[in-house]
């Protein structure tokens, strides 16, 4: 089970008593943190907010251009970092007006999207040849009262799906024309991370308050189904391995910390992991074949958990810091970044991850 395999029905029934005992043990005795899978690198400074207490949201990395984008609420914009070397270097902050939350790179249209606290979307030109590079070229109003939060981009349909976390709205944007083409309303509260799955062409999204996973079809912009996660997860993060049609749900439940391996095709739980939980963002990198989970509220202390991508198994936890709820992975240099929100030390934490045996 820990490796992501689903036992047969008869074998599962025979294992129930033993599994119940194991789950009880995991619930009362958290595992030892394995911190020797990475080397902590020097923190990355953000000069405009040095010495302040930072507030950040999502990280996204343009792997081809070696540029990292961070939603920086303290500075009121999107920070850009050069990650062409193993040590990230701050370049500039793109002012977004209202403070940013989620960010998403739409590489094949040379745009960056940022969800803002005033319920709008900022569209930023990132075309290296454009005179308007790294400026806001359009703003779209979602019609909500609260923030546009997390989002993801479908490069095939060239559409962005953005969630208003507390308004129950998902906005679909034509990334070519910079226009809203569809809105889903009254979806309920606690809308979290949309993620595109290249394997089936679907967009999935978590809801922490509803303990659910939504499935959308971007080809027709329809809501296909809403799945009840059933176990006590309350998912925030969602990361997808399209090669296996499996997703790692980053559970936010503090009472029963866990991560959940989710079967996208069957729409159900494959297994759970108690090694990390009570967190936020998850991310999958196909080149490294690894899942990452920023578990900032884990009871043993804030950690960034690393999981093998197939078969899915927990590898280890990296101790992080208060509020380290987002992450980015530079696949060229095997460096993991997370936000540093500790008092008077705004910036990013970085870890070098050596090659991990599959």
State the pLDDT at residue 326.
Answer: 98
Burial of 220 (0-12, 13-18, 19+ CB in 10 A): exposed
Write down the residue that tokens 């996660």 correspond to. 229
Q: Is the residue at 19 inside a domain? A: no
Sheet holding 179-184: strands in order across? 151-154, 159-164, 169-174, 179-184
Q: What are phi and psi of 18, to 5 degrees?
A: -65, -40
| H/E segment holding residue 19 | helix 9-28
Q: 358 pLDDT band (50/70/90 cuts)?
A: low
Q: Give the span between the Cα atoms of 325 and 58, in whole angstroms.
A: 8
State the pLDDT at residue 153.
Answer: 98
DSSP assignment, residue 345? -
State the pLDDT at residue 63.
Answer: 98
β-partners of residue 169 are: 164
Cα 14 to the chain's mean position, in Å?
A: 36
State the pLDDT at residue 325.
Answer: 97
Domain that holds residue 172: 29-352
| H/E segment holding residue 212 | strand 212-217
Q: Is the residue at 265 inside a domain? A: yes
Per the omega criterion (within 30 degrees of 0), is the bond before 129 cis?
no
State the pLDDT at residue 6.
Answer: 33
| DSSP-assigned letters across all residues of 207-259 | ETTTTEEEEEETTTTEEEEEEE--SS--EEEEEEETTTTEEEEEE--SSS--E
State the pLDDT at residue 15.
Answer: 35
**Three-class DSSP category at 290:** strand
Q: Is the residue at 23 inside a domain? A: no
β-partners of residue 217 are: 222
pLDDT value at 21 more than 90: no
State the pLDDT at residue 34.
Answer: 56
Which residue has better confidence, 38 or 3?
38
Average pLDDT over residues 131-155: 98
State the pLDDT at residue 36.
Answer: 73
On whether the pTM is more than 0.95, the answer is no
Q: pLDDT of 228-245, one tens digit each? A: 999 999 999 999 999 999
Q: Is the residue at 358 inside a domain? A: no
**Three-class DSSP category at 14:** helix
Q: Is the residue at 242 inside a domain? A: yes
**Largest CA-CA distance found in the chain, in angstroms, rounded:** 66
State the pLDDT at residue 10.
Answer: 31
Average pLDDT over residues 310-315: 96
Average pLDDT over residues 334-345: 96
Q: Give the span between the Cα atoms of 79 and 72, in whole angstroms.
A: 6
Closest among 262, 105, 259 to 175, alpha carbons compared = 105
Q: Is the residue at 341 inside a domain? A: yes
Q: pLDDT of 48-105, one tens digit each? A: 999 999 999 999 999 999 999 999 999 999 999 999 999 999 999 999 999 999 999 9
Q: Give the span between the Cα atoms of 142 and 149, in whole angstroms.
A: 11
State the pLDDT at residue 35.
Answer: 56
Q: 32 pLDDT band (50/70/90 cuts)?
A: very low
Average pLDDT score over the chain: 91
Q: Is the residue at 115 inside a domain? A: yes
First to last CA, the chain: 17
pLDDT value at 300 more than 70: yes
Which residue has better confidence, 27 or 102?
102
Q: Is the residue at 240 inside a domain? A: yes
Structural domains of the chain, count: 1
| H/E segment holding residue 168 | none
3-state helix, strand, coil in the chain (%, to 5): 5, 50, 45
pLDDT value at 28 more than 60: no
State the pLDDT at residue 12.
Answer: 28
Average pLDDT over residues 5-32: 32
State the pLDDT at residue 356.
Answer: 80
State the pLDDT at residue 49.
Answer: 97
Q: Give Cβ neighbours of residue 28 (< 8 Å, ≥ 6 apart).
A: none
CATH number of the domain enclosing 212: 2.130.10.10
pLDDT value at 174 more than 50: yes
């Amino acid at each position: 089970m820990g490796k992501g395999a689903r036992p047969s029905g008869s074998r599962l029934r025979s294992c129930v008593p033993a599994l119940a005992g194991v789950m009880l043990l995991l619930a009362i005795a958290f595992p030892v943190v394995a911190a020797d899978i990475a080397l902590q690198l020097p923190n990355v400074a953000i000069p405009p907010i040095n010495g302040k207490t930072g507030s950040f949201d999502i990280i996204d990395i343009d792997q081809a251009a070696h540029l990292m984008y961070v939603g920086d609420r303290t500075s009121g914009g999107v920070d850009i970092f050069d990650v062409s070397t193993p040590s990230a270097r701050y370049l500039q902050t793109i002012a977004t007006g209202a403070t940013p939350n989620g960010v998403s790179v739409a590489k094949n249209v040379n745009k960056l999207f940022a969800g803002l606290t005033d319920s709008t979307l900022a569209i930023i030109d990132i075309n290296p040849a454009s005179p308007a590079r790294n400026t806001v070229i359009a703003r779209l109003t979602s019609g909500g009262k609260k923030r546009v939060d997390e989002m993801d981009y479908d490069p095939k349909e060239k559409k962005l799906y953005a969630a208003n976390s507390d308004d129950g709205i998902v906005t679909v944007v034509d990334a070519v024309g910079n226009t809203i083409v569809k809105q889903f309303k009254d979806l309920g509260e606690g809308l979290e991370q949309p993620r595109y799955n290249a394997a089936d062409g679907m967009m999935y999204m978590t809801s922490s308050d509803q303990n659910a996973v939504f499935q959308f079809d971007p080809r027709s912009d329809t809501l296909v189904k809403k799945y009840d996660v059933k176990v006590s997860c309350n998912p925030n993060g969602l990361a997808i391995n399209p090669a296996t049609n499996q997703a790692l749900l980053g559970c936010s439940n503090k009472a029963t910390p866990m991560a959940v391996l989710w079967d996208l095709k069957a729409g159900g739980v494959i297994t759970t992991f108690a090694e990390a939980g009570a967190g936020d963002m998850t991310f999958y990198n196909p080149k490294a074949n690894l899942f990452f989970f920023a578990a900032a509220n884990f009871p043993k202390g804030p950690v960034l958990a690393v999981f093998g991508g197939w078969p899915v198994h927990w590898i280890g936890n990296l101790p992080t810091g208060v509020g380290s709820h987002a992450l980015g992975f530079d696949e060229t240099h095997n460096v993991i970044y997370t936000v540093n929100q500790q008092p008077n030390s705004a910036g990013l934490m970085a870890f070098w991850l050596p090659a991990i045996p599959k």
